[in-house]
Amino acid sequence: MNIYGDRGNVLSLVRRTRAQGFAPRVVEVNPGDPLPDDVDIVLGGGGQDSGQGRVAKDLAVKRDEIHRLVAEGVPMLMVCGLYQLFGHRFITHTGDELRGIGVLDVETRGGDVRMIGNIVLDTEEFGEVIGYENHSGNTTLGPQSRPFGRVTQGAGNNPDDGLEGARSHHVIGTYLHGSVLPKNPRVSDFLIARAAERRYGGFTPIAEIGDTVTRARESAKRRPR
Ligand code: GLN
């Protein structure tokens, strides 16, 4: 799935990976397509409830393979609609239950209120992270997931607990569109570093790449929700 510019995550990750001297190959996986044999990083985007139904069926087929990759330490970034489906289940606002694949110990229920606007997080691993959220699903974390961050502006997983996203192994689930990677290069660097360590047994960045997010960060803060 790919709405609200989530494709920008792919573009930005490819660019940053090239800057480290790698030659990334992007493989698009649509419902019914097999997963490629040799995966280093997995990205997933957001989508409407209707599209999520189709993707949920396809994920059920890929479930064991994805769990194997997660256990092997493959880094993954799942945004919004796919974040929800990486949890146990998503009950839509019309009461339909979409089964997730349980990579993340989270559960989501559709609500009547949409959470829309710029969002700012304080994260342990990446410092301040910014993005844009647009969802009506309310997600709650189970004991096996830790949050991606704490919300300092916006809603996040739900309007109540001040938490955003979920982390487990090298998987990040988050509501942040934006796209999130171009605005938060440290998250890209995390995905690249974990992938390179897994493949080559270690990783030393060859390039200090500029962090040009200051202006985006400032404008996100200036604009009220
Ligand atoms: N359909 C989901 C929700 O509104 C996901 C939306 C999205 O991916 N932006 O909660």
Cα distance between residue 27 and residue 22, in whole Å: 16
Residue written as tokens 């997983």? Answer: 157
Q: Does the pLDDT value for residue 149 go beyond 60? A: yes
Active site residue 67: no
DSSP string, 27-55: ----TTPPPPSS-S-EEE----HHHHHHH
Buried b (16+ CB within 10 A) or exposed e, 144-153: ebebbbebbe
Active site residue 93: no
Taking CB atoms and a 6 Å cutoff, what residues make up the pocket around ligand 1? Answer: 46-49, 52, 80-81, 134-137
- What is the distance in A from the centroid of ligand 1 to the CA of 118? 15
Phi first, then psi, for residue 140 (nearest 5°) are -125, 145
Phi first, then psi, for residue 164 (nearest 5°) are -135, 135
Active-site entry in 88, 93, 170, 177: 177
- 192: which 2 tokens? 């690249």
Q: What is the ipTM of this complex?
A: 0.91
Q: Is 114 annotated as a binding residue?
A: yes
Rounded alpha-carbon distances, angstroms, from residue 213 to 17, 165, 190, 216, 220: 17, 21, 16, 5, 11
- What is the distance in A from the centroid of ligand 1 to the CA of 133? 9
Cα distance between residue 212 and residue 194, in whole Å: 22
Tell me the per-residue pLDDT of 8-42, one tens digit each, with 9 for 90 and over.
Answer: 999 999 999 999 999 999 999 999 999 999 999 99
- What is the distance in A from the centroid of ligand 1 to the CA of 199? 33
- 34: which 2 tokens? 């097999």
* Average predicted confidence (pLDDT) for the chain: 92
Rounded alpha-carbon distances, angstroms, from residue 121 to 29, 107, 182: 30, 20, 16
DSSP string, 104-138: SSEEEEEEEEEEEEEEEEEETTTEEEEEEEEEEEE
Tell me the pLDDT band of 104, cut-offs 50, 70 and 90: very high
What's the rounded mean pLDDT across residues 174-186? Answer: 95
Tell me the pLDDT band of 225, cut-offs 50, 70 and 90: very low
Residue written as tokens 């799942």? Answer: 78
Instruction: Out of 93, 108, 115, 134, give the residue to mutate to test ligand 1, the one with the largest number of ligand atoms within 8 Å of its CB.
Output: 134
